[in-house]
């Protein structure tokens, strides 16, 4: 059993989730008593491969081809199929990015395998790997085992593993040039959709006050905004608040928003769905205000206030202003 982590980069810029996946690969390799290697794919990936080689890995595979300059599902799946045939890993891990969601099912199916997507945790029992993924928007945790021999595939959700736990080292880099033909690539990459530049960098904020659906009406956001101002904190939100247009998308925290790791994250009227938790559970201290004592946010909170936010928040504002 050996593990291969497939990293994601674009024009030399890493997708940060790749590092979390690499850390997970190292952790799994340690627990399963095996080795972990990593692959980087593109047209010119030597610099990226050299950077990757600074980690504790058995090998770094630099998968290069002109037809891998721009991402296409056909070329990526074909290149990886060839690399997997050569490196023979039993488990291949990917970050759960949009790109991976696009090509991983195709890759796994072409090898007659399944891909376990959106993994949030794992454990090893009797030498066997069990992956945990969430169903019904995080209400149920499902244990998943691979029933067949590898290569088995899994993608890991953002925030599930910690990149700051990566072990450094010095790994050899192996060049791998897959055989690809332009005729087998059925999609034509166009200009990439560019998101508007973010005016708010929640990732750099030390204090964050985040508001959720418990706030009930758009007009009430001002209350939480006042609390954030009194604390000198950035204002953030759960997805329904941004979907409703009550706050701009750039303030959304979670799997489809920003990932934050402030010194303190205060969740106001947020239930704590997994898609929200993955974006903020790296905060050093989590404070939750929720009127439902059973809200899942309290499972990750260091301090919890069970109460009506419309009573608690004005009290907090007054207290902060007094200080
Ligand atoms: C593919 C996908 C991606 C997603 N990405 C994200 C994402 O990036 N970020 C994100 O946040 N969500 C995301 N979601 C949505 C997520 O599943 C939840 O629906 C969402 O996080 C819930 O937001 P909420 O906690 O504000 O609302 P709710 O779940 O409705 O919770 C509101 C909470 O407020 C409390 N409350 C109500 N009134 C009061 C009061 N007066 N005082 C105190 N507490 C009160 C309630 O008890 C409840 O716990 C995603 C979902 C999917 C399927």
CB of 257 within 6 A of ligand 1: the answer is yes
Reported as a pLDDT band with limits 50, 70 and 90, residue 173 is very high
d(Cα 213, Cα 233) in Å, to the nearest integer? 19
Q: For residue 274, report the distance from its CA to the centre of ligand 1, in Å.
A: 9
For residue 41, pLDDT beyond 90: yes
At residue 260, the pLDDT reads 83
Q: Residue 120: what pLDDT? A: 86
Ligand 1 midpoint to CA 93 (Å): 29
Give backbone dihedrals phi and psi of 304, rounded to 5 degrees, phi first. Answer: -125, 135
pLDDT of residue 82: 98
Phi, psi of 129 (to 5 degrees): -85, 130
Please tell me if the CB atom of residue 292 comes closer than 6 angstroms to any atom of ligand 1: yes
Is pTM, for the whole model, over 0.75? Answer: no
Under 8 Å between Cβ of 248 and 198:
no
Which atom of ligand 1 is found nearest the CA of 289?
Answer: 43
For 124-158, the pLDDT digits (tens) are: 999 899 999 977 766 678 999 998 888 999 999 87
Question: 254 in ligand 1 pocket by Cβ < 6 Å?
Answer: yes
Does residue 192 come out as left (phi exceeding 0), alpha (psi in the -120 to 50 range) or beta? beta
Which atom belonging to ligand 1 lies closest to the Cα atom of 137? 17
Q: What is the dihedral of CA 266, 269, 270, 271, to 10 degrees?
A: 130
Residue 151 in contact with ligand 1 by CB distance below 6 A = no
Paired sense of beta strands 60-64 and 207-211, if any: unpaired
Burial of 14 (0-12, 13-18, 19+ CB in 10 A): middle
User: Distance from the CA of 240 to the center of ligand 1, in angstroms?
Assistant: 7
Q: Are strands 207-211 and 234-237 parallel, antiparallel or unpaired?
A: parallel
CA distances from 218 to 244, 251, 276 (A): 9, 15, 20
Q: Which residues have a Cβ under 8 Å from the Cβ of 169 and sit 6 or more positions away?
A: 54, 55, 56, 57
State the pLDDT at residue 196: 54
Query: Ligand 1 pocket, 296 CB below 6 A?
Result: no
Beta bridge mates, 55: 168
Q: Ligand 1: distance of its center to the CA of 261 in Å?
A: 19
Question: What confidence tens digit (pLDDT) does each residue in 72-120 have?
Answer: 999 999 999 999 999 999 999 999 888 999 999 999 999 999 999 989 8
Average pLDDT over residues 38-43: 98
């Amino acid at each position: 059993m050996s593990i291969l982590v497939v990293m994601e980069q674009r024009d030399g810029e890493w997708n940060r989730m790749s590092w979390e996946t690499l850390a997970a690969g190292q952790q799994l390799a340690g627990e399963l008593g095996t080795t972990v290697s990593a692959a980087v794919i593109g047209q010119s990936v030597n610099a990226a491969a050299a950077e990757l080689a600074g980690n504790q890995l058995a090998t770094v595979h630099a998968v290069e081809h002109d037809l891998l300059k721009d991402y296409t599902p056909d070329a990526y799946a074909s290149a990886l199929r060839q690399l997997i045939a050569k490196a023979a890993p039993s488990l291949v891990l990917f970050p759960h990015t949009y790109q991976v969601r696009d090509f991983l099912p195709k890759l796994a199916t072409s090898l007659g395998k399944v891909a376990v997507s959106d993994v949030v945790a794992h454990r090893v029992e009797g030498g066997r790997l069990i992956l945990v993924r969430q169903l019904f928007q995080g209400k149920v945790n499902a244990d998943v085992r691979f029933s067949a021999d590898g290569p088995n595939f899994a993608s890991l959700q953002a925030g599930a593993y910690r990149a700051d736990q990566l072990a450094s080292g010095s790994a050899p880099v192996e060049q791998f040039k897959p055989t690809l033909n332009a005729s087998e690539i059925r999609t034509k990459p166009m200009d990439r959709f560019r998101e508007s530049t973010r005016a708010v960098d929640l990732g750099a904020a030390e204090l964050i006050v985040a508001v959720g659906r418990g706030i009930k009406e758009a007009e009430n956001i001002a209350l939480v905004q006042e609390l954030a101002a009194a604390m000198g904190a950035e204002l953030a939100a759960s997805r329904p608040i941004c979907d409703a247009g009550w706050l701009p998308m750039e303030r959304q925290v979670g799997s489809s928003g920003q990932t934050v790791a402030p010194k303190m994250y205060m969740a106001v009227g947020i239930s704590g769905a997994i898609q929200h938790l993955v974006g903020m559970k790296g905060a050093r201290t989590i404070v939750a205000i929720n009127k439902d004592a059973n809200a899942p946010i309290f499972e990750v909170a260091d301090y919890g206030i069970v109460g009506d936010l419309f009573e608690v928040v004005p009290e907090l504002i007054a207290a902060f202003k007094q200080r």
